[in-house]
Amino acid sequence: MRFLSLQSHVAYGYVGNRAATFPLQRLGHEVWAVNTVEFSNHTGYGAWRGRTAPADQVAEIVQGIEALGLLPSCDALLTGYVGDAALADVVLDTARRVRAANPKAIWCCDPVLGDIDTGIYVKPGIDTFFRERAIPAADLVTPNHFELEHLTGRTVSTMSEALAAARTLLNGPKLALITSLRRADAPADQIEMVAVSREAAWRIVTPLIGFEIAPNGTGDAVAALFSAHWLAGGDVADALGRAASSIFAVLQATHELGERELQLVAAQDRLVSPPRRFMAERL
């Protein structure tokens, strides 16, 4: 399949396009990566160099891809970190162009805002853009636990609260994937991912790996992996199982090697053929 991916880029580490592109390529898919920022490293380090890509530059790159006649063969649009509110219109315009060229293409919108450990790490106005403009136009939305609460204005401590919150996002999308869920009423040594449609829900549980500093980019990789598997087979439970198994294998390798960054290259064989398989259950 062919993916157009508008996300962040870092020279060192694996977040945004760096976390999404290689896993998709390793699974045999083509990725047209358009970078919304060019940073030396992700912002979790506290210091970085680089800058947000100008909106007109990102738009021109997308238009150049369109001029090559490639958009009719685009199967999915992936969007993630938006460094500046000026890029909002470019993201929406890109989605319109892709869908006009291929009405069957899906848009996976990862509403990157922050995380439980960091809080919000995007500029003011980005959350409003996702909430009011991007998510209603997307097919699949992939918030983490923190982003789900922030976008919905709800506290999520139980599964029923998670499902109710996720369904408020389905005012356009067919599916919401909570890429990390830490419930107060669940064992502390596990983490869940939950896929929610209007009619059904599925969850998958994996052990929580005890990182001193959890790697960034996990949600970016999960959004890409899940999108690819869901698009390929249309089976939510199967896509959830494959994505969770792959990311757990990568995280396990990252922990074993004592690294802070996702070890996507070192664990590439485990990513494709995870040694431990997890199965999703329908709720």
| Dist CA 156 CA 146 (whole Å) | 9
Query: Within 10 Å of residue 1's Cβ, how many Cβ atoms?
Result: 16
Token couple for 183:
């419930």
- For 118-145, give one letter per residue: b (16+ CB within 10 A) or e: eeeebeeebbebbbeebbeebbbbbbbb
Q: Please list, in sequence order, all residues whose beta carbon lies within 8 angstroms of the beta carbon of residue 268, skipping any fewer than 6 positions away.
A: 22, 26
User: Are residues 186 and 160 in contact, defined by beta-carbon separation less than 8 angstroms?
Assistant: no
The total number of structural domains that make up the chain: 1
Residue 121 to residues 117, 150, 182: CA-CA distances in angstroms?
Answer: 11, 12, 20
Per the structure, the complete domain to which residue 123 belongs is given by 2-282
Q: What is the DSSP string of 71-113?
A: GGG--EEEE----SGGGHHHHHHHHHHHHHH-TT-EEEE----
Q: Please list, in sequence order, all residues whose beta carbon lies within 8 angstroms of the beta carbon of residue 66, skipping any fewer than 6 positions away.
A: 97, 101
Secondary structure class of 251 (helix, strand, coil): helix
Q: What is the CA radius of gyration of the chain?
A: 17
CATH number at residue 231: 3.40.1190.20
CA of residue 19 relative to chain centroid, distance: 9
User: Are residues 17 and 26 in contact, defined by beta-carbon separation less than 8 angstroms?
Assistant: no
- Tally DSSP H helices, then E strands, for the chain: 9, 12
Secondary structure class of 123 (helix, strand, coil): coil
What is the residue whose two structure tokens read 């500029």? 123
- pLDDT per residue, tens digit, the chain (283 aa), is 999 999 999 999 999 999 999 999 999 999 999 999 999 999 889 899 999 999 999 999 999 999 999 999 999 999 998 878 889 999 999 999 999 999 999 999 999 887 766 666 677 788 889 999 999 999 999 999 999 999 999 999 999 999 999 999 999 999 999 999 999 888 989 999 999 999 999 999 999 999 999 999 999 999 999 999 999 999 999 999 999 999 999 999 999 999 999 999 999 999 999 999 999 999 9
Query: Within 10 Å of residue 239's Cβ, how many Cβ atoms?
Result: 24
| Dist CA 215 CA 117 (whole Å) | 12
Q: What pLDDT does 86 receive? A: 87
Q: What pLDDT does 230 receive? A: 97
Query: Within 10 Å of residue 106's Cβ, how many Cβ atoms?
Result: 22
| Dist CA 15 CA 108 (whole Å) | 16
262: amino acid identity, one letter: L
Q: What pLDDT does 121 receive? A: 67
CA of residue 154 relative to chain centroid, distance: 21
Q: What pLDDT does 126 receive? A: 87
Q: What pLDDT does 81 receive? A: 85
